Amino acid sequence: MNKDRPLVIGRKKLRSRLFLGTGKFRNKHELAACIKACGTEVVTVALRRIDLKRHRENILEYIPKNVNLLVNTSGARTAREALRIARIAKAAGYGNWIKVEVINDSKYLLPDNAETLKAVRMLADEGFVALPYMFPDLYFAREMAKAGAAAVMPLGSCIGTGMGLQAKEFIKIIVEEIDVPVVVDAGLGVPSHAAEAMEMGVDAVLVNTAVATAGAPVKIARGFALAVNAGRLAYLSAPQKPLEEASPSSPLSGFLFEDKK
């Protein structure tokens, strides 16, 4: 695998590897400032938060035209419901990029991989650019890629928890085995979590709650952008492997005060 491959989704080459969600922001002006601060090129929006009448409070008015809109199927409990939401979004003119989110669990909000896979198959058949949000399971990731997923989006930890990469080892396996881009979605709480994910070799990360609920959203949005870039550079640099014993960076012999023979 080419470690330095560009990030291409739906035939679009993306420079930014940070995706931003739009829920929970205190106001839309703050959202717009965060989009600008982090330089994201992909923003996710739940269809139910889009005002189809397009009045001045419509969230789409605060998203730059050059940013790719990734409509998510939030609220869908079945593959059929996800497909219906995607069709409505496309008919309304919001494009064909869909974050496939099918959740039946109301306590932990874990994605239903089986229904998500069904949705990916149907969406891909209709020409949608499908990015499924999924529990990090290698078998389902493989099947979603085969079904036509443009990327897979395994969770780092439960939505909104900020607990970081609780599923780290399973995500590593997906990164090693799947050819489509891997985007870590959900649970990243601070920029260091994003850097850690990128150091593993994931292609991008998506954050929402961590930015929207921070005391200074614009600052942390910028922090996440810097962390993503730092983590990507670390991954490409073939960093040092951990050692079990100390290894001096300077020689421990030849000091000036040693007796010369």
Active site residues: 99
CA distance 213 to 192: 17
The closest alpha carbon to 211, from 15, 18, 11, belongs to 18
DSSP classification of residue 241: P
Q: What are the residues facing 183 on neighbouring strands?
A: 204
CA distance 184 to 178: 14
Residues in Cβ contact with 144 at an 8 Å cutoff, skipping those fewer than 6 apart: 116, 117, 120, 132, 134, 152
Phi, then psi, of 13 in degrees rounded to 5? -90, 120
- The runs of H, that is alpha helices, within the chain are 28-38, 79-91, 113-125, 138-147, 168-177, 191-199, 209-212, 217-236
CA distance 94 to 89: 5
Q: What are the residues facing 182 on neighbouring strands?
A: 152
**What 3-state class would DSSP assign to 44?**
strand
CA distance 221 to 206: 11
**What 3-state class would DSSP assign to 234?**
helix
